[in-house]
Amino acid sequence: MLDAIQIGHYSDLTNGTGCSVIIPPEGNVASACAFGAAPGTREIALLQPDKKVQEIHALVLTGGSAFGLASAQGVMEELARMGKGFRTAYGVVPIVPAAVVFDKNVGSAQVFPGPDEGREALFSATNDFGKMGNIGAGSGVTAGKWAGLNFAMKSGLGVAQITNGPLEFLAITVVNAVGDVVDNQGRILAGALNSNGRFLAAENPALRWQNPEVGMNQNTVLSAVFTNVKLSKTEAHYLAKRVHLALARRIVPSHTSFDGDVSFVVSVPQTEASIDLAAAILSEAVEQSVTNAVIHCEGMFGLKGFKDLRGHNDR
C-alpha cells in the first residue's frame, strides 16, 4: 500500500515557503479533523463523516497561510486534465483537500505557493518518503514560538512509516508550533532557546503557559496518516481525532488558542484490524513523524535547527 502512495514537494528556501502534495491510490476513504482554533483549510467540510463523498484524489499541505490554498487549484486542474476526479455527467471534479501553515514570519511575507507551485509539487511526486526537514510545506515552519519568534527554532516536515504484520501506516506531519517538541521522556528536541542557546523551559516548564509571545493564527501543525486498514468514513474521522492526542504527547503546549491544527486520515482498504489497534499504531507513527520533522532540520533564517545543537543542550 505504501508503495502506491506518492509525495511531491515545491520548496522555496529563499523566501521560506513551499507546499507538499500527496497522491493516494483510488478507492480510498478519507476524513479530517480541524481541532485547532484558527485553521486554514479547503474541502474539510466535505470530509466530515456525514457528507457523501468519501474519496480524495490528492491532499495538499502548504505554506503561505490562506494565500497558499491557491496551490491546490493547480493540483486540481492538472488532475482534471488527467481524467482523475469525482465523475459527473459534465466531467470530473478532483477532490483536493488542503490545509495551510503560517510561514509569513520567516523569509518573505509576500511570497506564497500558488497554482504553478502546486503543479510543480504534483509533477515531482514519487514514492520516496525519505526527504524530510526543510522541504515542501516544512520549508518555512518553526517551533517553540511561545517566547517569541526570535527564540524559536527551525522545524520542518517529518515522515514515519510503521508496518505491523499486514498493517501499514504512513504519517506525514508539518510542525509549525507554539510549543516545544519533546521526546518520549519529555526531553526537549526543539523549542524556545535563550541567548546562550539553552532551552528556556528545561528548568521551568511552566514558563510555556505564561503569556505566550506569539501572534494569533501564526501557528499550525498539520498531520496526515495513510493506512491499509479498512475504515468507514466515521472510523477514519475517529482516527483523525486520535491524531491530535498523539500530537499533544510530542508538542508542549499543543492545541492552544494560537494554533490551527488539522489532521487527515486516509484508508486505502486492504486488511482488517480493530479500531483500537489501528489507533495505537497510528499514534506511534504520528509521534515519530513529529520527531522526524525537527531532527532533520538545519538552521535557517537566523534560527537554529536541531542539527546545530550537536547534543550540547540542556533538555
Residues 10-56 pLDDT 10s: 999 999 999 999 999 999 999 999 987 888 999 999 999 999 999 99
Strand order in the sheet with 6-12: 6-12, 17-23, 59-62, 98-100, 41-42
Q: Are strands 180-182 and 167-176 parallel, antiparallel or unpaired?
A: unpaired
Q: CB neighbours (10 Å) of residue 39? A: 19
Mean pLDDT score of the chain: 92
User: Higher confidence at residue 149 or residue 205?
Assistant: 149
The domain at 2-309 falls in which architecture?
4-Layer Sandwich (3.60)
pLDDT category of residue 216 using cuts at 50, 70 and 90: very low
Give the H/E segment covering residue 241.
helix 233-250
Say what the pTM is: 0.95
Parse the chain into domains and list their residue ranges: 2-309
Q: What would the grid cell of residue 117 be?
A: 507551485
* CA Rg value for the chain: 18
